[in-house]
A and B are shown apart, each in its own frame.
Chain A
Amino acid sequence: MTIVNFTPWSALIGGALIGLAAAGMWWLLGRLAGVSGILGAAMISRGEDLAWRAAFIAGLFLAGLAAIVLFPGEVPFKLEAGYGQVLIAGALVGFGTQMGSGCTSGHGVCGVSRLSPRAVAATLLFMAAGMVTVYFVVQQP
């Protein structure tokens, strides 16, 4: 194993921003910022419940839009997978996060911070599954 492309400072600063945003949701709204839960439940909720969920998702999307408008050509993005692969991956991510009650944010950040045994177990399992998948399936450039 060789360590490559390590960017510790941007990783820590970005991580701290994610933690701050999750803390805002918790402190003000009493909600854990798990993206798969907010998105999945948004589709079967209405009224005020739908409003805050949709607003959070809109904020995520607009952050992406603001980044490419304000810093054109400077936002790192490289996707190797083709259409077939992203469609399968999307279906697995959608189904798996609903069945497993969370993703990288809900389990990996919020749940691990709360020392929830369910979140710790889920985080270890999805990381292991991701690593095995990359080892066997994903072609390295």
Chain B
Amino acid sequence: MKRAIVAFVCGLVFGAGLIVSQMSNPAKVIGFLDITSNWDPSLALVMGGAVVVFSLLYRLALRQGTPLLAPRFSLPEKDRLDAPLMIGALIFGVGWGLAGFCPGPAVVSAAFGDARVWAFVAAMVGAMLVYRIGLRRHQD
């Protein structure tokens, strides 16, 4: 229960950051990706600000040895630059540019009331399930 409350509060703060920075505004995202005509560099600073803060606190936390409410730090197991990583990133990037949504901002702005965002989230979740279930079958 304690962990769920922590995750909920972190989700709230994360969402607030997405709204304040306007990552949750697709037009702002498209403006950032549109480097050849009218470029809005703001989102580079969103990522920059987040990376500066997280880089520091990530390393400070690692020095503690273990997280405060969990037995260990969980890190991704994969460490190679493989084809699924690169192809997946390219597919994601095309989808990101097409609508201006990545997963976090899509969940946040689903609350804004535009039914097209729900359509995006439904298609996204559906495709996630297709991949996850396909992967599981493959592993069996």
* Interface residues of A, Cβ cutoff 8 Å to B: 1-8, 10-33, 35-36, 39-41, 43-44, 48, 51-68, 75-83, 85-101, 103-105, 107-110, 112-114, 116-118, 121-123, 125-135, 137-138, 140
Contact = CB atoms under 8 A, between A and B. Distances in A.
A96 B88 contact: yes
B80 interface: yes
B89 A35 contact: no
A55 B91 CA distance: 28
A107 to B, nearest CB: 7
A58 B108 CA distance: 9
Contact of B26 (A16, A21, A80): A80
Contacts of B74: 30-32
A79 B7 contact: no
Contacts of B112: 64, 68, 75, 77
A30 B69 CA distance: 8
Interface string B24-46: 11111011011111111111111
Given A56-B7, A90-B121, A76 B97 contact: no
A138 B8 CA distance: 35
A43 B124 CA distance: 12
A13 B94 CA distance: 28
A68 B15 CA distance: 13
The prevalent SS among residues of A at the interface is helix
A81 B10 CA distance: 30
Question: Could you tell me the dominant secondary structure of chain B's interface residues?
Answer: helix
Given A23-B61, A121-B89, A128-B93, A1 B84 contact: no
Contact of B89 (A33, A75, A82, A96): A96
Given A60-B14, A90-B120, A134-B34, A98 B88 contact: yes
Given A52-B7, A59-B8, A96-B93, A86 B119 contact: yes
Given A14-B20, A94-B125, A86 B116 contact: yes
Contact of A64 (B15, B50, B60, B128): B15
Contacts of B71: 30
5 contacts: A19-B50, A77-B27, A95-B131, A96-B94, A101-B85
